[in-house]
Amino acid sequence: MGNFTLDINKFVKKCGANADQAVRKTIFDLGKSVVERTPVGDATYWKSPPPPGYVGGRARGNWSHSVGQIKIEEFDVVSRSGSVSNARIAGSIPKEAAGKIHFIQNSLPYIQRLEDGWSRQCPPNGMVGLTMMEFQSIINKALEEIR
């Protein structure tokens, strides 16, 4: 935890007065990355026919953001593009974002299975796993954009 705290302190010093803006941009970009990597159901790959009226995009449409604690909430929405989740995440990031604990979550019961590779459309390291591997570059990009 000590190294992480030192890294956060370096980040805050690097951001200076723009810390809130940098954190907001980083959270949005992390969320957008996870949303875009979330597979959209494609019944052409399925062994069994889809249920009547099936439309893919529920997992992609159920990402959200919260501050302070994880918020368990399912949304009755389908979003093939992910625009609904991206807008939900953007709208939930507070103006004063620095110094708070932020969560990006998806409460669908099968989201962990998707992360673990249940769909052939999932990236090999998962949507969240791959995004976390890119965490530092996402932060660096956010810092460059606000300067």
Say what the pLDDT of residue 106 is. Answer: 98
What integer is the mean pLDDT of 92-106?
94
Sequence-ordered strand ranges (E) for the chain: 63-67, 102-106
- Going by pLDDT thresholds of 50, 70 and 90, the confidence category of residue 120 is confident
Helix (H) or strand (E) holding 5: helix 2-15
Residue 1 has pLDDT above 50, yes or no: no
Residue 10 has pLDDT above 90, yes or no: no
Average pLDDT score over the chain: 88
